[in-house]
């Protein structure tokens, strides 16, 4: 290899640098010693060290020989161990192959075991299904159908029959051996079940029987019908038809008889077309006769809404035989509630029975229900329609409408939709009749001619009292369960009542008497409605507005004879004072002195006469007191303004200071007439 001169010099330089880094060389260079001499010294030391090492080795020769012998022996032992380990490794390889082979054999055996177990289970099940035990034969043949053991074996027989049918489809010849036995047992079971179910159905036909007992027994054994459907559809159809025909007759007969007897318990003297709001009460003299006391009032709710209470809705039905003995009579809505509750309760129970026992749902359940209850529902609707078309008791009709809605909700809570159409049919009968009767009352008010009425006085009129009672009754029910259309009817009625009150007030020639009549009627209506409905209801707010307007007008009328001059003066000068029109106020100088002196001399007696007059005009003491207090407040306010007007500079030169009455005296006097309640 050819090395260039530059490369050689670079190697020498790097070698020198490396040598210079040695600590011994660096020390020799820094000491200033001759390098040749230093080299000889170092060589001498090395020779001495070599001689020492040789002597030491010679001294340890025996030990080294022993160590060499031991190493040779260890090497031989390790060589033997290596051979053994190599043999062991070869053996392990053989064992691994054997283990793998065993695992494969185990997996194969496990699969075989699983297959055999599965076959064993299927074969055991197959054999169990094919085998008809002696105990099954005994119970199917000899045990009564109501016994739980019969039911248990019947279900087992049903499973065997299903299994055999499935196997027949697969052409399993082994089933032929037990087919005949299972068929005979099935026929026997069908025969016993048929006899039992027909016996229960025939129990419904017995007079005065409680059909809930056989129904409950049938529900308890509802699997019987399922068994018949699977194995004897002809017998199942027979049971189905027999039950439907029997129960249809039972319900129809029961409700025909019950409804006929129930209507006999209605008040003999019912509400007629003459018992209208605008018709004059010609029977006032016999109002407290026994027959009228027993039927209650026409327009008053009273406790009639108890039929809508939670307990009233589900109260036990009326038993006509028992009620007839006591000669007890009832309002129409009470009889209607009893009839419809009986129908609703029986209908719900029947629908639930049909769906559970005959295993029908949705449209099929509705169809079957109508087959059983259809005639009964039609008869009840016809009977109700006959009574409703002759009913003029608007409160009874309205209560019946609410009963229908409540019973429909109750049916929905019981998950029974089958009676929805029935409730709709009843509503289509009763609601139009209610509207018709209310409109008859409205027309009777429209037809009122105050000039042809008996002598009117300033007390509340019977029309307004009837309206207040009726409106309160309707609103009480309406607030609990609002119905569409009621607000419109009541608004029409209210408008007509307001109009007829104004017509009757016009009969009085004196404006004050007109106002007293209006206030008495408005106040009475407001009092009645406030007791029955919310004070912020539309009717109450309207009456408050009318009462406030007429009361304000009456106060002006009643104050005018006693304090008219002062009130007129205050009214005319009030805007002049506000504008500080002194020149215009001077035109009233001549009126001031007479007014002040007249008021000073007569105001106490005038207040007393005002009290007597007001308290005698109003039938309600509380109303009279309220009107009087408002009149005194108006008087005090006017007098305070009057005194403020007299203090104007335009009247300073008048000598009236001694005659001016302090407003505080009026306040003290007014407190004497303040109510104590």
The string of pLDDT tens digits covering residues 32-78 is 666 677 777 778 888 888 888 888 888 788 888 888 888 888 988 98
In a domain, 50, yes or no: no
- Which structural domain, as residue segments, surrounds residue 218? 134-231
In a domain, 300, yes or no: yes
In a domain, 293, yes or no: yes
Do 316 and 423 sit in the same domain of this protein? yes
Exposed e or buried b for every residue in 641-652, given b needs 16+ CB within 10 A?
bbeebbeeebbe
How far is Cα of residue 604 from the mean position of the Cα atoms in its chain? 64
Point out the domain boundary residue: 231, 266, 287: 231
DSSP string, 549-612: HHHHHHHHHHHHHHHHHHHHHHHHHHHHHHTT-HHHHGGGHHHHHHHHHHHHHHHHHHHHHHHH
How many Å apart are CA 501 and CA 522, to the nearest integer? 9
In a domain, 319, yes or no: yes
Do 212 and 255 sit in the same domain of this protein? no
Point out the domain boundary residue: 442, 467, 487: 442
Summarised one tens digit per residue, pLDDT across range 643-675 is 888 777 777 777 777 777 888 888 888 888 776
Do 342 and 429 sit in the same domain of this protein? yes
The pLDDT of residue 290 is 39
Do 299 and 338 sit in the same domain of this protein? yes
Length of the chain: 677
The pLDDT of residue 294 is 35
Mean pLDDT, the chain, rounded, equals 84
In a domain, 6, yes or no: no
How many Å apart are CA 596 and CA 29, to the nearest integer? 146
pLDDT: which is higher, 471 or 179: 471
Instruction: Read off the pLDDT of each residue in 4-22 and give the average, rounded to a whole number.
Output: 63
Do 196 and 238 touch, CB atoms closer than 8 A?
no
3-state secondary structure of 457: coil
Summarised one tens digit per residue, pLDDT across range 144-174 is 999 999 999 899 888 888 877 766 655 555 5
The pLDDT of residue 40 is 79
The pLDDT of residue 291 is 40
Number of domains in the chain: 3
Do 206 and 276 sit in the same domain of this protein? no
Summarised one tens digit per residue, pLDDT across range 231-289 is 999 999 999 999 999 999 999 999 999 999 999 888 877 788 888 888 876 544 444 44
Residue 295: is its pLDDT beyond 70?
Answer: no
For the chain, percent of residues with pLDDT exceeding 70: 88
Do 213 and 249 sit in the same domain of this protein? no
For the chain, the C-alpha Rg in angstroms (whole number) is 58
Do 273 and 143 sit in the same domain of this protein? no
Do 172 and 125 touch, CB atoms closer than 8 A?
no
Out of 26-35, 219-228, 285-294, 668-677, which region has the weakest mean confidence (pLDDT)?
Answer: 285-294
What backbone phi and psi angles, to 5 degrees, belong to 274? -85, -15
In a domain, 179, yes or no: yes
Long-range residue pairs from 43-48, CB within 8 A, at least 24 positions apart, any chain: none
* Count of other CB atoms within 10 angstroms of residue 173: 8
In a domain, 156, yes or no: yes
Do 178 and 254 sit in the same domain of this protein? no
How many Å apart are CA 80 and CA 86, to the nearest integer? 10
What confidence tier does 332 reach under pLDDT thresholds 50, 70, 90? very high
How many Å apart are CA 471 and CA 582, to the nearest integer? 56
How many Å apart are CA 420 and CA 423, to the nearest integer? 5
Residue 583: is its pLDDT beyond 70?
Answer: yes
Between the CA of residue 379 and those of 9, 260, 343, 418, 422, what are the distances in Å?
137, 11, 11, 17, 11
Residues 6+ apart with CB under 8 A from 675: 622, 625, 629
How many Å apart are CA 306 and CA 74, to the nearest integer? 117
Do 249 and 396 sit in the same domain of this protein? yes
In a domain, 52, yes or no: no
Do 218 and 339 sit in the same domain of this protein? no
The pLDDT of residue 553 is 92
The pLDDT of residue 368 is 95
Do 663 and 634 sit in the same domain of this protein? yes
Point out the domain boundary residue: 174, 200, 231: 231
What is the DSSP-derived secondary structure letter of residue 330? B
pLDDT: which is higher, 283 or 330: 330
Do 246 and 223 sit in the same domain of this protein? no
Summarised one tens digit per residue, pLDDT across range 484-514 is 889 999 999 999 999 999 999 998 888 999 9
The pLDDT of residue 377 is 96
Of 321, 206, 198, 209, the closest CA to residue 257 belongs to 321
Do 429 and 588 touch, CB atoms closer than 8 A?
no
The pLDDT of residue 563 is 85
Out of 126-130, 266-270, 366-370, 388-392, which region has the weakest mean confidence (pLDDT)?
Answer: 126-130
Residues 6+ apart with CB under 8 A from 359: 225, 226, 229
The pLDDT of residue 174 is 56
């Amino acid at each position: 290899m050819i090395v260039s001169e530059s490369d050689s010099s670079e190697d020498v330089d790097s070698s020198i640098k490396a040598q210079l880094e040695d600590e011994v060389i660096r020390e020799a260079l820094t000491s200033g010693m001759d390098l040749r001499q230093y080299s000889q010294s170092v060589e001498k030391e090395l020779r001495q060290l070599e001689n020492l090492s040789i002597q030491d080795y010679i001294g340890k020769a025996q030990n080294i020989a022993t160590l060499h012998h031991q190493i040779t022996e260890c090497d031989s032992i390790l060589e033997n161990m290596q051979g053994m380990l190599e043999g062991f490794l070869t053996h392990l390889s053989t064992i691994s192959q054997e283990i793998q082979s065993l695992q494969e054999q185990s997996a194969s055996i496990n699969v075989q075991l699983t297959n055999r177990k599965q076959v064993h289970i299927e074969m055991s099940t197959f054999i169990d299904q094919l085998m008809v035990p002696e105990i099954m034969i005994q119970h199917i043949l000899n045990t009564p159908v109501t016994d739980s053991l019969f039911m248990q074996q019947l279900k087992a027989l049903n499973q065997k029959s299903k299994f055999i049918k499935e196997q027949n489809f697969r052409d399993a010849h082994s089933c032929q051996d037990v087919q005949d036995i299972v068929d005979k047992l099935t026929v026997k079971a069908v025969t016993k079940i048929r006899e039992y179910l027909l016996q229960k159905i025939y129990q419904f036909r017995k007079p005065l029987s409680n059909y809930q007992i056989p129904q409950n027994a049938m529900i308890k054994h509802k699997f019987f019908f399922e068994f018949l459907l699977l194995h004897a559809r002809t017998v199942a159809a027979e049971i189905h038809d027999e039950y439907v025909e029997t129960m249809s007759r039972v319900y129809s007969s029961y409700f025909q008889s019950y409804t006929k007897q129930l209507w006999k318990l209605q008040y003999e003297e019912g509400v007629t077309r003459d018992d209208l709001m605008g018709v004059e009460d010609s029977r006032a003299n016999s109002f407290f006769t026994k027959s009228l006391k027993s039927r209650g009032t026409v327009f008053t709710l009273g406790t009639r809404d108890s039929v809508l209470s939670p307990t009233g809705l589900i109260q036990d039905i009326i038993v006509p035989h028992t009620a007839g003995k006591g000669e007890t009579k009832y309002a129409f809505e009470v009889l209607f509630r009893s009839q419809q509750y009986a129908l609703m309760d029986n209908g719900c129970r029947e629908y639930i029975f049909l769906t559970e026992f005959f295993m029908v749902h949705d449209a099929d359940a509705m169809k079957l229900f109508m087959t059983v209850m259809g005639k009964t529902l039609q008869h009840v609707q016809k009977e109700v329609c006959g009574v409703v078309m002759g009913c003029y008791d608007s409160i009874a009709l309205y209560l019946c409408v609410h009963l229908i809605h409540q019973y429909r909700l109750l049916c929905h809570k019981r998950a029974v939709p089958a009676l929805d159409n029935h409730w709709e049919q009843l509503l289509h009968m009763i609601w139009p009749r209610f509207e018709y009767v209310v409109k008859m009352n409205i027309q009777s008010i429209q037809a009122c001619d105050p000039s042809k009425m008996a002598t009117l006085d300033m007390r509340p009129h019977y029309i307004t009292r009837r309206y207040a009672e009726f409106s309160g009754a309707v609103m009480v029910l309406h607030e609990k369960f609002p119905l569409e259309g009621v607000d419109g009817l009541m608004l029409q009625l209210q408008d007509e009542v307001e109009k007829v009150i104004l017509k009757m007030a016009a009969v009085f020639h004196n404006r004050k008497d007109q106002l007293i009549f209006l206030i008495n009627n408005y106040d009475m209506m407001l009092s009645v409605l406030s007791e029955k409905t919310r004070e912020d209801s539309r009717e109450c707010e309207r009456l408050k507005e009318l009462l406030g307007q007429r009361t304000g007008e009456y106060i002006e009328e009643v104050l005018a004879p006693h304090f008219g001059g002062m009130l007129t003066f205050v009214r005319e000068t009030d805007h002049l004072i506000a504008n500080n029109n002194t020149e215009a106020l001077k035109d009233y100088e001549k009126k001031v002195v007479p007014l002040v002196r007249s008021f000073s001399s007569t105001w106490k007696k005038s207040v007393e006469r005002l009290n007597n007059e007001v308290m005698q005009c109003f039938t309600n003491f509380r109303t009279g007191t309220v009107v009087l207090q408002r009149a005194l407040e108006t008087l005090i306010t006017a007098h305070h303004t009057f005194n403020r007007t007299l203090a104007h500079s335009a009247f300073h030169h008048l000598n009236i200071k001694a005659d001016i009455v302090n407003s505080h005296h009026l306040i003290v006097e007014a407190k004497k007439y303040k109510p104590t309640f």
